[in-house]
Amino acid sequence: MKKMLIVLTSLTLLSPLAVAENWWEQAKLKGDLRYRHEVLKEGEQDARHRHRLRARFGIEGKVSSTTTIGIQLATGSSDPISTNQTLTGGFSSKSIILDLAYFDFKPAGLPGLKITAGKIHNPFLKPGKSELLWDSDLNPEGGAAIFERNLDNVSITLIGSGLWIEERSKSDDSWLGAGQGVFRYNINEKKSNVAIGAGFFNYVNGKGLTPFYDGEPMGNSVTPVIVSINEDTDDTTYAEVYTNDYEIVELFAEATHHFKKIPVTIMFDYVKNTATDSLNTGWLAGLHIGKTKKPWSWTVRYIYRKVESDAVVGTFTDSDFRGGGTGAKGHEIGGSLILAENTSFDISYFINKIGLDKEEEDFKRLQVDLQLKF
């Protein structure tokens, strides 16, 4: 009887594989490992050195001819804009988190349309990989519909999205309703192209509520409110809540031209929070030269940005610039060199000023990376 139960259990577990005996032909594995040495210096404080790892492993598989699912695990904490793991804690084991879990659906009768939902890749275009609105590690949660139409020299992309930010049991939920449109025109036999676009990002139920994720304002304006009063001691407990709503308009442009097979990209990104009348704008301009593909290929970049305190939501913007958040301006210089197949050496240097509406403080950050992918 015991042997029969074992056989039946084995058949039950293996039966899905029998249905899709060549399942590995429908699945793709990918991953990367990054080792980073970082030097931080803020104000008059001594420089801080730290070593950090980022490891990610993902699998993507086809469910059918129209549907794909993907799952990715990564190092780090629950921080939505970082999967870095600092090497510390007396050789302690490090955490692995769920970084992506999504499905993509491309209806056969509607070519060019993709619907994605779950913990998804960021669906919005970031001109020149700009991180003015979104950190590159951010994987939002919710759903998006993306429509792309490609003609001979023109492509149009339309994106609509509903993203869930905070579910609250005793107050209103916070969510993001957003849309973006991109028009790209190819010239010089597609050796050059120009893209222009615009977006609107409406954060519903932000003002008067605790800042997203961990309650840290990350440069955004906050107002203290009374949470409780101890009647015996008269001690008052306060909490900080968003002073403003965030209804952000984005305008951007990107142009790329190849000079003897070396691509040069210039980009400009501008945002304005229309829900408040002050400290509400941000902009970024940058230049990228080169492309990393084959061994010894390279790229360099220069970016300057200025982000006022309430231009964007500080929780989701670039985590490296000014240490994460808003209310800062300054430079970013960097480059990458492919040392061997799927192996690159990268360097980034941030020279920033924190505190646009008050006394400024210097912030400098140097990152030296070795990155390997498969």
CATH at residue 332? 2.40.160
Give residue-wise pLDDT tens across range 81-117.
999 999 999 999 999 999 999 999 999 999 999 999 9
pLDDT of residue 174: 98
pLDDT at 17 over 90: no
- The arithmetic mean of pLDDT across residues 328-333, rounded, is 98
How many other C-beta atoms are found inside a 10 Å radius of the C-beta of residue 73? 17
Q: Distance between CA 117 and CA 364 in Å, rounded?
A: 38
Tell me which of 190 and 46 has the higher pLDDT: 46
Which ranges of 46-110 does DSSP label H, i.e. alpha helix?
none
Q: How confident is the model at residue 25 (pLDDT cuts 50, 70, 90)?
A: confident
Task: Say how far apart CA 94 and CA 205 lie, in whole Å.
Answer: 35
More confident site: 233 or 74: 74
pLDDT at 4 (0 to 100): 47
Report residue 236's pLDDT band, with 50, 70 and 90 as the boundaries: confident
| Average pLDDT of the segment spanning 220-242 | 85
User: What pLDDT does residue 297 have?
Assistant: 97
pLDDT on residue 295: 96
Q: pLDDT band at residue 238, thresholds of 50, 70 and 90? A: confident
Contact status, residue 133 vs residue 126, Cβ threshold 8 Å: yes
- Give the mean model confidence (pLDDT) for residues 145-153: 95
Q: Looking at the domain assignment, is residue 241 inside a domain?
A: yes
**Residue 334, token pair as written in the block:** 């960097």
Mean pLDDT of 12-19: 43
- Give the span between the Cα atoms of 55 and 365, in whole angstroms: 21
3-state secondary structure (DSSP) of residue 93: coil
Total structural domains within the chain: 1
pLDDT at 124 over 60: yes
Q: Which two tokens stand for residue 232?
A: 């015996």
pLDDT of residue 18: 42
H or E element: which one contains 115? strand 113-119
Mean pLDDT rounded to a whole number for the chain: 92
Q: What is the C-alpha separation between 94 and 80, in angstroms, rounded?
A: 17
User: What is the model's pLDDT at position 226?
Assistant: 86
The SS3 call for residue 250 is strand
pLDDT at site 24: 66
Residues 366, 146: Cα–Cα separation, whole Å: 36
Give the whole-angstrom CA distance, residue 150 versus residue 260: 26
**How many other CB atoms are found less than 10 A from the CB of residue 195?**
21
The answer to the question of residue 30 being in a domain is no
Quick check: 191 pLDDT over 50? Answer: yes
Contact yes or no for 55/95 (Cβ under 8 A): no
For residue 17, being part of any structural domain is answered with: no
Tell the burial category of 21 from Cβ atoms under 10 Å away from its Cβ (0-12, 13-18, 19+): exposed
> Is 91 contained in some domain?
yes
Beta bridge partner(s), residue 240: 224
Say how many C-beta atoms besides its own lie within 10 A of residue 288's C-beta: 21
Beta strand 48-62 pairing with 27-42: antiparallel
Q: Residue 351's closest CA among 324, 374, 321?
A: 321
pLDDT (tens digit, 9 = 90+) per residue, 213-223? 999 999 999 99
Distance separating alpha carbons of residues 316 and 133, to the nearest angstrom = 7
Quick check: is 31 in a domain?
Answer: no
Q: Could you tell me where the DSSP H helices lie in 135-233?
A: none
What pLDDT is recorded for position 2? 43
Over residues 16-42, the mean pLDDT reads 80
Residue 76 lies in a domain: yes
Cβ-contact 10, 24 below 8 angstroms: no
> Would residue 6 count as lying in a domain?
no
Per-residue confidence (pLDDT) for residue 7, from 0 to 100:
44
Note the pLDDT of residue 22. Answer: 65
For residue 18, tell me if it sits in a domain: no
Return the exposure string of 340-364: e unless at least 16 CB atoms fall within 10 Å of the residue's CB, then b: eeeebebebebebbbebeeeeeebe
pLDDT given at position 10: 44
First-to-last alpha carbon distance for the chain, in angstroms, is 47
Cα 204 to Cα 120, 125, 126, 144, 324: the distances in Å are: 20, 22, 22, 17, 23
pLDDT at residue 8, rounded to an integer: 43
Tell me the pairing of strands 27-42 and 67-75: unpaired
Q: Which domain holds residue 82?
A: 41-373
pLDDT in tens, 266-311: 999 999 999 999 999 999 999 999 999 999 999 999 999 999 999 9
